[in-house]
A and B are shown apart, each in its own frame.
Chain A
């Protein structure tokens, strides 16, 4: 039976970008369906009734929700090419820890830095810089988060790359100046076609952020 793979996604989503990267790394052909998460289409509600969010990966009619869970699924199903997670259980646990850190800690200030004002903005800026520092320290001198090979944590964080310019603009800092190791790492990741093809244009994201700021009342 031929594999049918559909991805319900929304172009600015940093989470959808991760799944696109993983599918490309594995050479999986899929149908991309642009899905506005604020318009709850019947397909979205059917495939993700609990959260009604994108991205949703649909493999032979069966949905897999949550980007990190999709990465693990993709790695396990298409296991013959380009491993995403390391095989060693301890290394795997570390990879999972850092992806979790990105979503639990980094995510919130990463959007608050463009969506808030006043004291909330000041707090978000500080937190975001702290987390960038932590992530740079964790990378250290390694070419990728997992060591020699591009993998899970690189994908988890590069998903946010399109939003970095917006974070820098509204957070008033420069990643290149503050975090040179991370900058080198982003350039290395951008040499990969899977990454470049998955990312949205940073300027288009900034335009999108301006629209969102009005919605949040930050303009």
Chain B
């Protein structure tokens, strides 16, 4: 039976970017479908009735929801090339920990950076930079988070990079000054075809965030 893979996604979503990268790492042919989040498709609502969110991966008609769960699923189904998670259980636990850290801490903090102003934004910016520094420290001198090979944590984090110019613009700081090693890692990741093809132009993301910010922070 031929593999039918559909991805319901929204172009600036750093979560959707993860699934796009994972599929491309494995050389999986898939159909990308852009969702209008203000007007969600019946298919989205049918395939993710609990959360009604993107990305949704539909493999031979069956949905897999949540980006980290999708990345693991892709790794397990298309296990023949480019392993995403390490094989050692302890290394796997560490990879899962850092992806969980990114979802629990980085996402909330970055939201405050573009969606608030004044004291709340300052506090958010401080938190955000501290979290980036923690990640930079975890990376250390390794080429990738998992060591020599591009993998799970790199995939979990890299999409946020497309939002960096937006954060810098609205909260007035430079990620390159704060976390130069992390930016070097970003550049290395961008050399991978799977990443370059899966990430939108950061300028377009900044335009998008500017519009979105107006809803949260009336000028």
Residues of A within 8 A of B (CB): 50, 59, 62, 64-66, 69-70, 72-73, 76-77, 89-90, 92-93, 96-97, 100-101, 134
B50 touches A101 (CB 8 A): yes
Report the bound CA distance from A77 to B166 in whole Å: 43
| B65 touches A (CB below 8 Å) | yes
A92 touches B76 (CB 8 A): yes
Contact of B93 among A72, A89, A96, A134 (CB under 8 A): A72
Question: Which chain A residues lie closer than 8 Å to B133 at the CB level?
Answer: none
The 4 nearest A-B residue pairs measured at CB: A76-B89, A89-B76, A93-B73, A73-B93
A64 touches B101 (CB 8 A): no
Report the bound CA distance from A70 to B134 in whole Å: 22
* Distance in Å: Cβ of B62 to nearest Cβ of chain A: 6
Question: Which chain B residues lie closer than 8 Å to A69 at the CB level?
Answer: 93, 96-97, 100
Report the bound CA distance from A90 to B63 in whole Å: 9
Q: Which of B72, B96, B100, B101 has the most CB of A within 10 A?
A: B96
Mask of B13-57 contacts with A, CB within 8 angstroms, 1/0: 000000000000000000000000000000000000010000000
Report the bound CA distance from A76 to B76 in whole Å: 14
B134 touches A73 (CB 8 A): no
Report the bound CA distance from A212 to B89 in whole Å: 37
B64 touches A93 (CB 8 A): yes
| B1 touches A (CB below 8 Å) | no
Contact of A76 among B59, B72, B92 (CB under 8 A): B92
Question: Which chain B residues lie closer than 8 Å to A65 at the CB level?
Answer: 97
- 22 intermolecular pairs with C-beta atoms under 8 Å apart: A64-B93, A64-B97, A65-B97, A66-B96, A66-B97, A69-B96, A69-B97, A72-B96, A77-B89, A89-B73, A89-B77, A92-B72, A92-B76, A93-B69, A93-B72, A96-B69, A96-B72, A97-B64, A97-B66, A97-B69, A100-B66, A100-B69
A-B contact count (CB 8 A): 52
Question: Which chain A residues lie closer than 8 Å to B93 at the CB level?
Answer: 64, 69-70, 72-73
Residues of B within 8 A of A (CB): 50, 59, 62, 64-66, 69-70, 72-73, 76-77, 89-90, 92-93, 96-97, 100-101, 134
Q: With A73-B90, A100-B69 given, can you name 7 additional A-B contacts, CB distance below 8 Å?
A: A59-B90, A62-B90, A64-B97, A65-B97, A69-B93, A92-B72, A97-B66
Report the bound CA distance from A93 to B90 in whole Å: 20
Report the bound CA distance from A26 to B154 in whole Å: 32
**Chain A residue, CB-CB nearest to B60:** A90
* Distance in Å: Cβ of B178 to nearest Cβ of chain A: 19
* Distance in Å: Cβ of A166 to nearest Cβ of chain B: 25
Report the bound CA distance from A35 to B79 in whole Å: 40
**Chain B residue, CB-CB nearest to A134:** B50
* Distance in Å: Cβ of B192 to nearest Cβ of chain A: 24
Report the bound CA distance from A90 to B62 in whole Å: 8
Question: Which chain A residues lie closer than 8 Å to B59 at the CB level?
Answer: 90
Question: Which chain A residues lie closer than 8 Å to B101 at the CB level?
Answer: 50
Question: Which chain B residues lie closer than 8 Å to A101 at the CB level?
Answer: 50
Report the bound CA distance from A66 to B134 in whole Å: 18
**Chain A residue, CB-CB nearest to B95:** A69
